[in-house]
Structure 1
């Protein structure tokens, strides 16, 4: 039976770059998926944290309730989230600090509008990773950054000829550098 052996000595540096580029690239793509989804969510927050779903509610109470009376009426109503604190905003409005939410009571009308925040576990987790707020994640983030540098450099060297860095590749590389530079200059 013939034995297939592979000699490390017979392989070129280009061969090993291609192998590492491919294998590290697959791992990096997994990281890229997570960072890309998180980045898109963070870029389009519209002043709201995408890691939380906001639920808006409205109630009608008697008008003219004081900061001392409102917690009693709130508790008597039943089925409402825990009220932790009531603070005066101005002569006509009170701020309610709720368990996982916040509200405003209008003493003139008796209207009470509040919102509750529900954590979206997956989005919360990937955003924490994106912001590097997960304990010990700095090492992984640095490894990912180094792997991206390797992929960038090895990618430049893998493709030869007119489609590589010596040909049209140099123009795409220049474009990739110029886009953020021009954006910074113009903004």
Structure 2
């Protein structure tokens, strides 16, 4: 019985490739978000708001007024900083009330569930995911090598393919060397 290596390499390459597409899409989408964070975590959205309340409220009056408004985020506690400023600790955020002007600024952060989940996979923060990530990485190595070996002739690794392979290795190498 003769084993046809090309047949099995193509079959496994095809099947593993289809299996890895879903994980690749999750990693790629998450990677794009992480590359463009601009100092903010894409797993959370930050909402900023400003209110004008009565001037000169005490901490207890501020708490009572805050809690009576059901549209505001839950207040955990307030702390008097000085004669002008009261700090509010909110569920998922923080705020500041200026006693002299009555202005209150606050911001809260909310989890973006799908992006949070994808980034946790990307950062390998989910228990047990390391094995899946390692299998994914090994699969990508297999797909890369088997893909190189499958294309015959002038368009394959013996022809112009070698130049693309060399360019693909040089791009990250040169980037690292030029940005030291």
Does residue 117 of the first structure (1) align with residue 120 of the second (2)? no
Structure 1: tracts of 5 or more residues without a match = 1-8
Of 25, 36, 44 in structure 1, the residue corresponding to residue 28 of structure 2 is: 36
Moved more, 172-181 or 110-119: 110-119
SS at match of 1:57: strand
Where structure 2 has 5 or more consecutive residues not aligned to the other structure, the ranges are none
C-alpha separation between the residues in 2 aligned to 1:42 and 1:89? Answer: 36
Task: Give the aligned partner of residue 46 of structure 2.
Answer: 54
Q: Which sits farther off after the overlay, 63-72 or 73-82?
A: 63-72
- What per-residue deviation string (whole Å, max 9, x for no partner) do you get for residues 48-86 of structure 1? 222223222211123444556543442344542211233
RMSD over aligned Cα, in angstroms?
A: 2.2
1:1-187 correspondence to structure 2 within 5 Å: 9-65=1-57, 70-87=62-79, 92-187=84-179
Structure 1 residues 18, 184: closer, same or farther in 2, change over 3 A?
same
1:45 CA drift (Å)? 1.9
- Larger mean CA deviation between 75-84 and 111-120 belongs to 75-84
Q: Which runs of 4+ in 1 moved over 4 A?
A: 64-69, 87-92
Residues 75/23 of structure 1: CA separation in 2 closer, same or farther (3 Å cut) = same
TM-score normalized by the length of structure 2:
0.86
In structure 2, distance between residues paired with 1:170 and 1:91: 72
How far off its partner does 1:20 sit? 0.8
Match of 1:6 in 2: none
Q: How far, CA to CA, are the matches of 1:172 and 1:92 in structure 2?
A: 65
- Number of aligned residues: 179
